[in-house]
Structure 1
Amino acid sequence: MSSTLWLMVPYIAFTSFVLGHLWRYRTDQFGWTTRSSQIYESRLLRLGSPLFHFGMLGVIGGHVLGVLIPQSWTDAIGISEHLYHVVAVSAGSVAGLAVIAGITILLYRRLTVSAVRQATTTNDKAMYILLAAALITGLLNTVGSNLLWGTYNYRETVSPWFRSLFTLHPHPDLMVGTPWTFQAHGLIVLSLIAFWPYTRLVHMFSAPIGYLVRPYVVYRAKPNKSADKTRYARAWETPAIPRR
């Protein structure tokens, strides 16, 4: 593929990602949600959603280590190339299989549960296709390039190319000679990044992290007992209990 492609497409995708989120936030705050369908069906959701989300944490962590952190850094702390690939294949395969199992269950649920299927928009369908394609090609790269057709050190080509985009000194020529599976994965991921703001994936930026540290909400106190004012200083006021 032409080096121009690996220069223009990433910046188009990043521009769409940033401006799209700003536009979405200003014009569609009520639509900034997962549009949860748990009310329609919960059994398959309880199985597929944790597999998908916890698997994605592993996938994202692997990409941070493999793409954003230079190879020289891992070499400096004594992680050899062989050890890195062993960890990448084992951990990446587990995380990748968990994500694919999770998204398979979620897609099956959307296709077979009538109410969930009717609540699925056109953008949702396109998003699922891109996401599934990115996961499949990513797992193919992790397993295939290390076990099936020989080891390929993407940290010497793909990783420097991706990091160079953020330093505004891009090196698109690094991607020209990479295996087609890595090129396909890169283009699919860039397409997903560009399409991200217009899908339910925006909910990633509104995760309720504050719930981890917020105080309890007191709905009803025990009779003849007042709530701990220090503990519940930021919570709702304790409701008065009528005496009989």
Structure 2
Amino acid sequence: MDNVWGYILWVIFPYVALGSFFFGTIIRLSLYGGNITAKSSELLEKKQLMIGSILFHIGIIFVFFGHVVGIFIPKSFTDFLGIPNEVYHMGALFMGGMAGFMALAGMIILSYRRFTNKRVFMTSSFSDLVVNVSFLIVIVLGLSASLIEGTVFHPEFNYRLNLSVWARQLFYFRPNYHLMLQVPIVFRIHVICGLLIFAFFPYTRLVHALTLPWQYIFRRPIVYRKKGLRGRSK
């Protein structure tokens, strides 16, 4: 039975979540691209939004790229460069911890604002509330996994020997679910919650993160002149 659930959770479910992310995003951008917006509530409350948004976005960007490095750079490469595992681990904990706590602080402020400010709450959709709660859960799980589970209860655990290998295997369609059965439970829950966020990403305001105002880069510059400037130049 464990093998059945292991196969469902670590082979089938990741592709369902990633398929929802990729195909849902393509459909959303193709059919409803003009309706994609972050739906800013800045006019309703600005101070908490600014502080929380800056902290969360800076933190989550560093967290994301930290995950990319942890997954796609194998242990053999850092060994080749002569970087001891202890040094790599301490650096990852320090940088990842700082970025994680920054993202957590920002999300706490944003969630407090969304749930306690009556005007902001009334203009929030159900998906907005789910997004806030989901990010809080994922960030707390990630910090708990790295700073507590991976250092106190399982200090011998090295995610680059199983979790990262499994994640890379997903991209060439040969995931070995037995690798994830070796991973501590908090890490596994963190991965599942992270995949769920990818799954519902295209159907929430999160999709605005993938839209960039390319037209501002390639459009001709707009020249502004003060009124009466031509007359004074004469």
TM over 0.5: yes
1:77 to 77, 81, 92: 81
The residue aligned with 1:235 is none
TM-score (normalizing by structure 1): 0.86
Q: Would you say the 8 A contact 1:67–1:162 is kept in 2? A: yes
More helix by share: 2
Aligned equivalents of 1:176, 1:50: Cα separation in 2: 37
Aligned equivalents of 1:69, 1:62: Cα separation in 2: 11
Pair 1:133-2:128 in alignment = no
Unaligned ranges ≥5, structure 2: none
1:26 to 30, 35, 44: 30
Q: What CA deviation, in whole Å up to 9, does each residue of 1:55-77 have, x standing for no partner? A: 01110121011112111111111
Q: What CA deviation, in whole Å up to 9, does each residue of 1:70-104 have, x standing for no partner? A: 11111111211000111011111111100000000
Unaligned ranges ≥5, structure 1: 226-240
Aligned equivalents of 1:207, 1:224: Cα separation in 2: 35
2:148 to 139, 144, 147: 144
Say which one has the larger Rg.
1
State the identity as a percent.
Answer: 36
Aligned equivalents of 2:38, 2:31: Cα separation in 1: 17
Task: Give the aligned residue type for 1:196.
Answer: F
Question: Which shifted more, 155-164 or 124-133?
Answer: 124-133
The residue aligned with 2:47 is 43
- Per the TM alignment, residue 145 of structure 1 is displaced from its structure 2 partner at its CA by 3.4
For the aligned residue pairs, the C-alpha RMSD in angstroms reads: 2.4
Q: Would you say the 8 A contact 1:59–1:96 is kept in 2? A: yes
Q: Would you say the 8 A contact 2:111–2:133 is kept in 1? A: no
Aligned equivalents of 2:21, 2:212: Cα separation in 1: 18
The residue aligned with 1:177 is 182
The residue aligned with 2:159 is 154
1:202 to 194, 200, 207: 207
- Per the TM alignment, residue 212 of structure 1 is displaced from its structure 2 partner at its CA by 7.2
Aligned equivalents of 1:13, 1:101: Cα separation in 2: 27
The residue aligned with 1:14 is 18
The residue aligned with 1:168 is 173
TM-score (normalizing by structure 2): 0.89
Aligned equivalents of 1:134, 1:168: Cα separation in 2: 25
Aligned equivalents of 1:173, 1:66: Cα separation in 2: 20
- Per the TM alignment, residue 211 of structure 1 is displaced from its structure 2 partner at its CA by 5.3
The count of residues paired between Structure 1 and Structure 2 equals: 229
Q: What CA deviation, in whole Å up to 9, does each residue of 1:140-193 have, x standing for no partner? A: 111013432242201101000000000112111110121100110111011111
